[in-house]
A and B are shown apart, each in its own frame.
Chain A
Amino acid sequence: MNQLKPAVLSLVMLTLVTGVAYPLAVTGIAQVLFPFQANGSLIARGDAVVGSTLVGQPFDDPKYFWSRPSATGPMAYNGAVSSGSNLGPLSDDLTTAVQGRIEALRAADPGNTAPVPIDLVTASGSGLDPNISPAAARYQAGRVARIRNVPEAAVLSLVAQHTRGRQWGFFGEPVVDVLPLNLAVDELGTKQ
């Protein structure tokens, strides 16, 4: 039991180092070097913050590019409680949900018979996925153009602008940022 004193004091000392000094130091450096990232990569429109480039928002209006299904509760893309669906691969609920999403996509765009990209019909892990795949964006470009009555080429060109290839040409997957894309689409307007 003569180890009790070093045990207590070690815990106090190491708490000061790793629990106080360390996070404060990292916060200080981060706020100086990367203030934008450290504070949530927020998108500003003038004085107003309209969202974050990193956190997705729900879109199911046919005039927007739909984002991925989200399993957060009680509403989709609830930033306060991130969550995946956790449905198992054999789950009937999952199969039904995927079928329902495919039907909804087809119903919103009856002429489109292309196979539906998988990311568009499966819930993301975080429920906040800000991205869809380039294939998923192209799949929807026709619908968005038709409903907004703008040339599909213009929409596709916006898609291309908001498509980011693999990071450093190598890491991860090519993605389309949904919120910035939809903000851009809104700027394109809707022709009557």
Chain B
Amino acid sequence: MLPSTSKYEYVANDPQKCTGCQLCEYVCSYTKNNAFNSLRSRIRTVRVDEILITSLSCRTCENAPCVIACPRDALTQDPETGIIRVDDSRCDGCAWCIEACDFGAISINPSTKLAEICDLCENEEDGPQCVKWCPKEALELTTPDKRGQKKRRKLAVQEVIGAGS
């Protein structure tokens, strides 16, 4: 089966709102490692140019290529949430998962040399900490379907009531 990003929730970024402040990276790094290190963040901001700024983290693909690519079966996917879990005892940091990921959403932790993937802060009561901290509400936990719905509603409001309302 082909991989698909349509099913599960993930942390989406609205590039219109993202200012490139990187607070998400620092909060992620602290939440996961008790240390501030943007290279150990599981969400990464990307500054393509002065104004094209966004962030990327795990897109929770169905039939995730990273899981398929792992030669040591270190990666497994939660069928309910789509979250990819890394078994540290099996991962040897070969980075095949990084190569398989179409979104560049996986990285190797520079200290442990093992793969790290966003788990949507499944153990945090108030959900993904990057979403909680994003000062411009550019980040949200959502699905492609919900995003589509939101866009349709926005467009409908504009069509009916007039742009800018």
The answer to whether A and B belong to the same complex is: no
Interface residues of A (CB under 8 A from B): none
